[in-house]
């Protein structure tokens, strides 16, 4: 009997609780009046809150374009290559015995065009697009992408050391950006980055200028193949693959930098890294832009060979050989490409000018020298008595005594030599 009463009161308590919950729910679910509903309706004239970046982004977003890099790749075929040939300096050999120079890709080789990569660019003048050198490097064909439409682009000028390049697109109607003054930037200034990361066109990220004049040694090399150290703008605005060559703007919509690289966790010693991106100051790009617009684009090609001068071949009086580009020090940009001086004749113009064994000639009269053929051809086009300006790279003590990959820091030296006809012809 006691159990029956106990159960009865328990069930009654549960029922009462359910009734109270139901009444409460009904009370809260009672429809509001029409007047009350109108009171919470959003006004058609509601205030629109914009950020301090909105106007700048609207002004410049359409002026940041995509850049596609196409290259030719060989498939199939075979040839004999000696990977152990010539790891020293000053030897022209890199291929093994039996290598067919007339058919470097071997029998059955087939050429195929592939999209090597995509980046970004900024319209800086009518028809001209500024981008990164590494975006267009080794391209056999270039395209600029605007609103999913592609346009053929022509390379007009490059500066590998600063990782910059300028393209020209015939008929491009996009209005150019306004170039700002990166020398006036201050740490803490706003930074707006616009580009095409992973193909998402016109992506906008915002941050601040985290630091100025950061010394960065990247994969880019100077005009002679030696890795260069550049002063860059650090920002915490997100920079991702595809942002390279895009624009970094201030809140006035002026171009202040060109995003070039970012650091990730893989860039350090296992540490977690976030929000460290680098941009090239726009003032660094201005000389290249001005040269291209003035018709002085510096896309390099080998000096043209001219007929030999009658009355003998003027020479420096040196023996030269190519730098082995597969050697670690050259491949990593620790040493430039060029013509390696392996011998200097006594009493020659070279000796009188101060050229030494172990020097690497990288430029003559403003023409870049990447190999011995270019150097010889250029000098043979000159006459005895001509004065040539020579830029060379020199490591203190020369390179013959260098062991392993421990390359001392060298320097570029400018010399002048007066060519002469010498009795014994070498190079």
- At 3, the pLDDT band (50, 70, 90 cuts) reads low
Pick left, alpha or beta for residue 101 (phi over 0 → left; psi -120 to 50 → alpha; otherwise beta). alpha
With a cut of 60, say whether residue 302 has pLDDT above it: no
What is the pLDDT, as a whole number, of residue 30? 56
Question: Residue 17: what pLDDT?
Answer: 57
The answer to whether the predicted template modeling score (pTM) of the entire model surpasses 0.95 is no
> With 80 as the cut, is the pLDDT of residue 170 above it?
yes
How much of the chain, in percent, has pLDDT values that exceed 90? 31
pLDDT tens digits, residue range 247-277?
999 999 999 999 988 776 655 555 666 778 8
Single out the catalytic residue among 182, 244, 348, 370: 244
Is 327 one of the annotated active-site residues of the chain? no
Q: Which pairs from 76-84 meet CB under 8 Å and 24+ separation?
A: 76/108, 76/109, 76/110, 77/105, 77/106, 77/107, 77/108, 77/109, 77/110, 78/106, 78/107, 78/108, 79/103, 79/104, 79/105, 79/106, 83/326
Q: By percentage, how much of the chain surpasses pLDDT 70?
A: 67
Given 134, 210, 348, 359, which residue is catalytic? 134
Q: According to the CATH classification, is domain 56-168 in 3.30.450.20?
A: no
pLDDT tens digits, residue range 214-239? 988 766 667 677 777 889 999 999 88
Q: Which of 41-50, 217-226, 330-339, 342-351 has the lowest mean pLDDT?
A: 41-50
What does the alpha-carbon distance between residue 374 and residue 378 come to, in Å, rounded to a whole number? 6
Model confidence at 102: pLDDT above 70: no
Name the pairing type of β-strands 339-344 and 318-322: antiparallel
Q: 183-283 has which CATH code?
A: 2.40.10.10
Out of 163, 182, 359, 370, the active site residue is 163
The alpha carbon dihedral of 196, 198, 201, 205 has a sign of negative
Let me know if the fold of 183-283 is the same as that of 314-421: no
pLDDT tens for 373-421 read 788 778 877 888 889 999 999 987 777 655 556 677 889 999 999 988 7
Which pLDDT value is given to residue 161?
81
pLDDT at 21 over 60: no
* Dist. CA 167–CA 330, nearest whole Å: 28
Q: Where are the domains of the chain?
A: 2-39, 56-168, 183-283, 314-421
- Which band of pLDDT confidence, cut at 50, 70 and 90, is reported for residue 90? very low
Q: What is the mean pLDDT of the chain?
A: 76
Per-residue confidence band for 306, with pLDDT thresholds at 50, 70 and 90 = very low
Query: Catalytic: 222?
Result: no
Contact assessment for residue 188 and residue 230, using Cβ atoms and an 8 Å cutoff: no
Q: Quick check: is 260 catalytic?
A: no
Give the confidence band of 46 by pLDDT, cuts at 50, 70, 90: low
Indicate the length of the chain as a whole number.
427
Domain spanning 314-421: CATH superfamily: PDZ domain (2.30.42.10)
Which pLDDT score is estimated for 61?
92
pLDDT at 29: 52
């Amino acid at each position: 009997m006691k159990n029956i009463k106990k159960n009865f009161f328990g069930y009654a308590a549960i029922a009462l609780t359910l009734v109270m919950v139901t009444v409460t729910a009904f009370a809260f679910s009672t429809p509001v009046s029409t007047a009350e509903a109108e009171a919470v309706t959003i006004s058609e004239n509601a205030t629109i809150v914009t950020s301090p970046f909105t106007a700048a982004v609207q002004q410049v977003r359409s002026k940041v374009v995509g850049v596609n890099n196409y290259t030719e790749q060989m498939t199939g075929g075979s040839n004999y290559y000696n990977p152990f040939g010539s790891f020293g300096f000053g030897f022209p050999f890199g291929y093994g015995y039996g290598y067919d120079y007339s058919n470097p890709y071997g029998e059955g080789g087939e050429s195929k065009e592939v999209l090597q990569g995509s980046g970004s660019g900024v319209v800086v003048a009518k028809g001209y697009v500024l981008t990164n050198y590494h975006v267009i490097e080794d391209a056999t064909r270039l395209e600029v992408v605007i609103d999913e439409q592609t346009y053929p682009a022509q390379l007009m000028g490059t500066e590998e050391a600063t990782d910059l390049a300028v393209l020209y697109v015939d008929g491009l109607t996009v209005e150019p950006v306004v170039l700002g003054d990166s020398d006036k930037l201050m740490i803490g200034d706003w930074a707006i980055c616009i580009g095409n990361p992973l193909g998402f066109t016109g992506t906008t990220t915002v941050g601040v200028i985290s630091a100025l004049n950061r010394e960065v040694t990247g994969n880019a090399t100077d005009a002679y193949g030696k890795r260069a150290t550049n002063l860059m703008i650090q920002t915490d605005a997100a920079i991702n693959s595809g942002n390279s060559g895009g624009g970094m703007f201030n809140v006035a919509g002026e171009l202040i930098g060109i995003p070039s690289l970012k650091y990730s966790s893989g860039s350090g010693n296992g540490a977690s890294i976030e929000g460290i991106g680098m941009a090239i100051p726009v003032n660094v790009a201005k000389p290249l832009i001005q040269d291209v617009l003035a018709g002085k684009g510096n896309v390099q090609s080998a000096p043209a060979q001219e007929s030999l001068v009658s009355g003998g071949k003027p020479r420096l009086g040196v023996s030269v050989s190519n730098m082995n580009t597969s050697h670690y020090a050259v491949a990593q940009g620790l040493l430039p490409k060029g013509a390696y001086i392996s011998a200097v004749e006594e009493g020659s113009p070279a000796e009188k000018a101060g050229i030494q064994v172990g020097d690497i000639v990288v430029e003559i009269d403003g023409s870049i020298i990447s190999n011995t053929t270019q150097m010889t051809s250029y000098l043979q086009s000159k006459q005895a008595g001509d004065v040539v300006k020579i830029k060379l790279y020199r490591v203190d003590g020369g390179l013959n005594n260098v062991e392993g990959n421990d390359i001392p820091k060298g320097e570029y030296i400018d010399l002048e030599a007066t060519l002469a006809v010498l009795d014994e012809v070498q190079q």
